[in-house]
A and B are shown apart, each in its own frame.
Chain A
Amino acid sequence: MSHAATHDGHDDHHGPAQLKDGLVPWVMRWIGTTNHKDLGTMYLIFAFTMFFIGGAMSLVIRAELFQPGMQLVSPEFFNSMTTMHALVMIFGGVMPGFVGLANWMVPMMIGAGDLALPRVNNWGFWILPFAFTMLLSTLFMDGGGPSGGWTMYPPLVLQTGDALPYVIFSIHLMGISSITGAINVVVTILNLRAPSMTLLKMPLFVWTWLITAYLLIAVMPVLAGAVTMLLTDRYFGTSFFTAAGGGDPVMFQHIFWFFGHPEVYILILPAFGIVSTIIPTFARKALFGYDSMVYATASIAFLSFIVWAHHMFTVGMPVAGELFFMFATMLIAVPTGVKVFNWIATMWRGSMTFETPMLFAVGFVFLFSLGGFSGLMLAIAPADFQYHDTYFVVAHFHYVLVPGAVFSIIAGVYYWIPKWTGVMYSEFWGKMHFWLSAIFINVTFFPQHFVGLAGMPRRIPDYNGQFADFNWISSVGAFAFFFAQFIFIFNMMRCMAKKGEPATQRVWEGAHGLEWTVPSPAPYHTFEVPPEQITIPEDELTAVHDEFDALDGHKLS
């Protein structure tokens, strides 16, 4: 290693500005930081803030739906809540959550010093608070917030009040942020891996993020184009989607879902990566079928581009189109099934312990699969005519997004926070958090299958008494689930305040990745020199194991 390279490290000898160095330097450090760990932390804090804002909106929805009759909010505001809840959760919660995990973990997993484009990384993050401030401010504008649904179908969306251009501009900003993040991930993974880490030796989280990043780059511009056409239709007299001017309202749906379906996989592929990382660790057994996992992920990504119109079976497509999209959609069950089978084969004859990250990962496999089953049912086009736009669909996508995507983010945070903060979270409160979440998520969403099948449409603020019972159960579950999440916040803040048992370097005895070869907490700069080894080999595992026993360190049940 050259002298210059080691000297660079000395520039940060004193580390980043702390609060005790003064408020201004500390604030400036977070505003100006290009460090992937700082930015990962900020992305995660932002994401969880948005989860709570979007969650509060869902409570408004569930409170109004607690019993028949209109008690609390006007139908307009109700529609704003459903619309904003979706936008905030998808673009503000899940996507930045995964970007935060990628920021922290991708460089550490591939042995890189940072992301390849650190300043772009800073810019990508700092766009988000402005984008969401603008989006949320529309709730206070003349005509209220957007209320045409997050899918923004014209002509309805063109009836939005003053909020419309602000919503469209904030979507443009979120798109720019996502694209910069995605480019950064691709460039980093393809260029900055440790020399001996070939593509098929990368951890699965890195693989799933690489594929996700390509999906983002492919479809975010499509969304930007669609909403820009809405903007010109409304303000510049074009008729892209207005039938009276020769346009086509259905074309918007095709464009939107060409973005929207890959987007669904953007929200779930990194989750697959996290679960594929956690299960082998706690099963103390290598991931079963690594290669097939990579190929399955790539297949899902490919198929995601050719199934979009299954969101539009009732729009009036030719029967040949309906058949094609039905068959293609059913095909997705094959690679998704392969993934689930591989996870279970990984667990099979392992030596499992069930710390909080593993609980969330196993919960993911079970509950995500339930969402997968209802997805398979929705793929059957004739039956979809009955399910479409009912609470059955609401139940389906919440099963894949909450105990799917959100559980995986929570699992990832529990799994890695000892590495980030150098402190173990409280296992008792972690387990409490899991069980309350797992129970109440089912109380919330399982009954929605029933009301949907019985005929309750989605996005309605009031309903006939026949749907009353399952609705109040669902509302009770939603409130309980929401408040259970404060346990998580408490647990994580405890780690960030450095209160708790110190974490070892390895943290989990079955962990093999490069991130476990740096100290806990991870130093501000890691892997300034690429590592030679790319995993912790089995013989070292035994050594670390002995070390654990000797120290009577972190106990694994």
Chain B
Amino acid sequence: MSVKTMLSIVSGLLAWAMSSAALAAWEVNMPVGVTEISREVFGLHMLIFWVCVAIGVVVFGVMFYSVFAHRKSRHPKPADFHESTLVEIIWTTLPFVILIAMAIPAAGTLIKMEDTRGTEMTVKITGYQWKWQYEYLEHDISFFSSLSADSNEARRLGSGIDPATVDNYLLDVDNRLVLPVDTKVRFLLTSNDVIHAWWIPDFAVKKDAVPGYINEMWTKVDVPGVYRGQCAELCGRDHGFMPIVVEVLSKEDFAAWVAEQTGGEVPAVVAAAPAEVATDAAPDAAAEEPAVTAPAEASMADLMAAGEKVYNTYCGACHQKNGEGMPPAFPALKGSPVATGDLATHIDIVINGKNAMTPFGASLSDEQIAAVITYERNAWGNDTGDVVQPAQIAAAP
């Protein structure tokens, strides 16, 4: 291929990209973030960056000057010096001094990052393939957070959905982690299966979730808002599809959110400002959670509606929304012997898993499992008419 052809291809691609630059974010640097630590980290990052730039300018300046001036055509007779102990000592010592100057502030920040004393609340984070579980240890709140349904649909191979039409593509979840502002929150981090890593760039917080370990980290966010991150440690097939979204609320709104989650009374201080609660706390976790209200006997219609949501969130990735699966790896549920046959076997597989299938007994509630099994046994023309109640799930081994 001639250089000319290559250039024309490159320029063609350039033109194409410029036209699609609508969603362009030519972000070239780390976010400054919204915590004291993230600002310190950003400062260290810029400091070491400029140190490198300064050294680079001097060193490469000398090199390129030499490349220019000491080429044979300009400098036909080479000099014959080839050692100098003094010079060697200078360029060993000087970098050493620069490094010590860098190490001192870096060590200070590092010690601060690892200091979890004086925390005001604790959230336990558990990584799963491929979702997160958040447990508020003081508030008795616990829920799962996984990739939002529209991103999940668009990211299928050959889905035909343009990612640009999906809001916060791959960076949106069904249930956000909700935190109060100006509060030192401690995170206890672990995993249920493989190693994951929980990361929010705006907090400068990243740590591995290791099965069998409980890691600690903390943050204290200054500015309310929504902050997004992703799992940072390769955790298998859907590693790229388990984002993290944190919504930071004012302390009052957070208290209201907690009250709503736990079904308790809204504290007086918050009740005084109902308008604010309505606008800020409404789009949060509870509203979108595919949870099931749990009456003793759920109706078929309720179970089907809830089951569809659960199915699309947790099962659709492999068995597909239309129930046809991706054989041979992921069998079809439509007309399958399991979904239309013995109910006990079906319940057992959902709870305990089978081969490549994850067990859901620990991560879904009895209500959710009952709903999804009801859905699977009646959707796509499976029409068994079976209605599975949460009590049956609770009774299953």
A interface list, Cβ under 8 A from B: 68-76, 79, 147-149, 153, 155-156, 159, 243-244, 248-250, 283-292, 314-316, 319, 322-323, 326-327, 330-331, 333-334, 337-338, 340-341, 344-354, 362, 365-366, 369-370, 373-374, 376-377, 380-383, 385-386, 388-390, 449-450, 453-455, 457-466, 468-470, 472-473, 476, 480, 483, 556-557
- Give Cα A376–Cα B59 distance, bound, in whole angstroms: 16
- Residue pair A450, B27 in contact (C-beta under 8 Å): yes
Q: Is the beta-carbon distance between B45 and A330 smaller than 8 angstroms? A: no
**In the complex, what distance in Å separates the CA atom of A285 from the CA atom of B75?**
12
Q: Across the interface, do A556 and B195 meet the contact criterion of CB distance under 8 Å?
A: no
Give the interface residue-count category, chain B.
Answer: 35 or more
With contacts A69-B162, A389-B233, A455-B229 known, is A350 near B239, CB below 8 A? Answer: no
CB distance from A144 to the nearest CB of B (A): 9
Please, how many angstroms separate the alpha-carbon atoms of A557 and B17 in the complex? 41
- Which residues of A sit under 8 angstroms from B230, Cβ to Cβ? 455, 457, 460
Q: Given A349-B70, A389-B233, A337–B111 Cβ distance below 8 Å? A: no
Set of chain B residues within 8 Å of A287, measured between Cβ atoms: 82
**Which of A250, A326, A377, A457 contacts B213, CB < 8 Å?**
A250
Besides A289-B84, A353-B72, A354-B67, 7 other A-B contacts (C-beta < 8 A): A249-B213, A284-B72, A316-B189, A348-B62, A350-B75, A369-B56, A369-B60
* B342 interface residue per 8 A CB criterion: no
A382 x B103 contact (CB < 8 A): no
| B71 contacts A344, C-beta separation under 8 Å | no
The reply to whether A385 and B41 form a contact with Cβ atoms under 8 Å apart is yes
Whether a CB of chain A sits under 8 angstroms from the CB of B238 is: yes
Given A155-B211, A243-B213; A349-B157 close (CB under 8 Å): no
Q: Pick the residue among B30, B83, B111, B237 that contacts A453 (CB under 8 A).
A: B30
Rounded to whole angstroms, the CA-CA distance of A408 and B206 in the bound complex is: 36
**Given A463-B170, A464-B170, A466-B27, do A389 and B82 touch, yes or no (CB 8 Å)?**
no
Residues of chain A lying within 8 A (CB to CB) of residue B157? 70-74
Sample (27) of A-B pairs whose CB atoms are under 8 Å apart: A70-B155, A70-B158, A71-B157, A71-B158, A72-B157, A79-B234, A156-B234, A244-B212, A249-B213, A285-B79, A315-B208, A316-B213, A319-B114, A326-B103, A350-B78, A354-B71, A369-B56, A377-B45, A377-B52, A381-B110, A385-B207, A453-B28, A454-B29, A459-B234, A459-B239, A460-B230, A466-B27
Closest CB of chain B to A83's CB: distance in Å? 9
Rounded to whole Å, the gap between the CB of A175 and the closest CB of chain B is 23
Q: Tell me the chain B residues, 56-96 only, with Cβ under 8 Å from chain A.
A: 56, 59-60, 62-63, 66-67, 70-73, 75-84, 87-88, 91-92, 95-96
Partner of B79, one of A155, A327, A350: A350
A352 and B72 contact, CB distance less than 8 A:
yes
Nearest neighbor of B190 in chain A, beta-carbon distance: A243
Q: Which of B197-205, B288-296, B300-308, B368-376 contacts A (4 or more CB under 8 A)?
A: B197-205
**Given known A-B contacts A69-B155, A349-B70, A341 and B91 have beta carbons under 8 A apart:** yes
**Chain A residues positioned under 8 Å from B111 (CB to CB):** 319, 323
Which residues of A lie under 8 Å from residue B63 when comparing CB positions? 344, 347, 362, 365-366
Q: Is the CB of B240 closer than 8 A to any CB of chain A?
A: yes
B71 nearest CB neighbor, chain A only: A352
Q: In the assembly, what is the distance between CA of A70 and CA of B237, in Å?
A: 13
Q: Which of B18-26, B132-140, B263-271, B278-286 contacts A (4 or more CB under 8 A)?
A: B18-26
Known interface pairs A350-B78, A352-B71; A330-B99 also in contact (CB < 8 Å): yes
Nearest-neighbor residue (CB-CB) of A156 within chain B: B194
Q: Which residues of chain A are near B49, meaning CB under 8 Å?
A: 377
Flag if A153 contacts B195 (CB, 8 Å): yes
Residue contact B208 to A316, C-beta cutoff 8 Å = yes
What is the minimal beta-carbon distance from A18 to any residue of chain B, in angstroms? 35
Q: Does B154 contact A (CB under 8 A)?
A: yes
Interface pair A385/B83, CB less than 8 Å apart: no
Q: How far is the CA of A243 from the CA of B192 in the complex (A)?
A: 11
Residues in A neighbouring B51, C-beta threshold 8 A: 376
A314 in contact with B208 given A463-B240, A468-B23 (CB within 8 Å) = yes
Chain A residues positioned under 8 Å from B239 (CB to CB):
75, 79, 457, 459-460
> Which residues of chain A are within 8 angstroms of B254 by Cβ–Cβ distance?
none
Once bound together, how far apart are the Cα atoms of A455 and B227, in whole Å? 12
Interface residues of B in 85-133 (CB under 8 A from A): 87-88, 91-92, 95-96, 99, 102-103, 106-107, 109-111, 113-114
The interface residues of chain A lying within 8 Å CB-to-CB of B204 are 382, 385-386
A-side contacts of B83, CB under 8 Å: 288-292
Q: How far, in angstroms, from A374 to B10 measured CA to CA in the complex? A: 28
> For residue A334, which residues in chain B have a CB less than 8 angstroms away from its CB?
92, 95-96, 99
Question: Which 4 interchain pairs have the tightest Cβ spacing?
Answer: A243-B212, A460-B240, A316-B215, A349-B79
Per the bound structure, the CA–CA distance linking A455 and B201 in Å amounts to 7
Instruction: Tell me which residues across on chain A come within 8 A of B99, comparing CB atoms.
Output: 330-331, 333-334
**Contact yes or no, A326 B107, CB < 8 A:** yes
* Given A330-B99, A333-B95, A385-B113, A75 contacting B163 (CB threshold 8 A): no
- Of chain A, the residue at the smallest CB distance from B113 is A382
Cross-chain contact B236 with A476 (CB below 8 angstroms)? no
With A156-B194, A457-B231, A557-B73 as contacts: A290 and B82 at CB distance below 8 Å: yes
Contact A380 B102 (CB under 8 A): yes
B364: CB under 8 A from chain A?
Answer: no
Cα A382 to Cα B194 in complex, Å, equals 25
Measured CB to CB, the nearest residue on chain B to A155 is B194
A278 to B79, CA, bound (A): 17
Residue of B nearest to A486 (CB): B1
- Please tell me if the beta carbons of B30 and A284 are within 8 angstroms of each other in the complex: no
- Contacts known (A156-B236, A244-B212); A469 close to B79, Cβ less than 8 A: no
Complex interface bits, B141-170 against A, C-beta within 8 A gives 1, otherwise 0: 000000000000011111101111000111
